Amino acid sequence: MIKIKSAYELERMRVSCGMAATVRDAVAKAIKPGVTTMELDEYAQELIAGMDAKSAFYGYRGFPGHICVSTNDEVVHGIPGKRLIQMGDILSVDFGVVYDGFVGDTATTVMVGVSDPEVIRLVTVTEQALQAAIDQAVAGRRLSDISHAVESVAVGAGFTVVRDFVGHGIGRSMHEEPQIPNFGAPGRGPKLKAGMTFALEPMVNLGSEEVEVMSDGWTVLTKDRKVSAHFEHTVAVGQEKAEILTIARK
**Residues in contact with Mg ion by the rule CB under 5 A:** 105, 199
For 142, counting Cβ atoms within 10 Å of its Cβ (0-12 exposed, 13-18 middle, 19+ buried), the class is: middle
One DSSP character per residue, 208-223 reads -S-EEE-TTSS-EEET
Q: Which is nearer to Mg ion, 14 or 77 (CB)?
A: 77
Minimal distance, residue 144 CB to Mg ion, in Å = 18
Nearer to Mg ion, 25 or 39 (CB): 25
What are phi and psi for residue 189, nearest 5 degrees? 85, 180
Q: How far apart are the first and last CA of the chain?
A: 34
Minimum Å gap between C-beta 133 and Mg ion is 13
d(C-alpha 196, C-alpha 193), whole Å: 6
| Beta strand ranges found along 33-121 (DSSP E) | 54-55, 68-71, 74-76, 90-99, 102-111
Nearer to Mg ion, 74 or 105 (CB): 105
DSSP reduced 3-state for 4: coil
- Given the complex with Mg ion, which of 24 and 140 has the nearer CB atom? 24
Q: List beta partners, residue 233.
A: 200
Q: Which is nearer to Mg ion, 33 or 101 (CB)?
A: 101
- Distance, in Å, from the CA atom of 166 to the CA atom of 230, rounded to the nearest integer, reads 11
Cβ 232 to Mg ion, closest distance in Å?
5
| Nearest distance from C-beta of residue 32 to Mg ion, angstroms | 25
Q: CB of 245: closest distance to Mg ion in angstroms?
A: 13
Phi then psi for residue 126, to 5 deg, are -65, -40
Minimum CB distance to Mg ion smaller for 36 or for 131: 131
Minimum distance from CB of 43 to Mg ion (Å)? Answer: 21
What 3-state class would DSSP assign to 96? strand
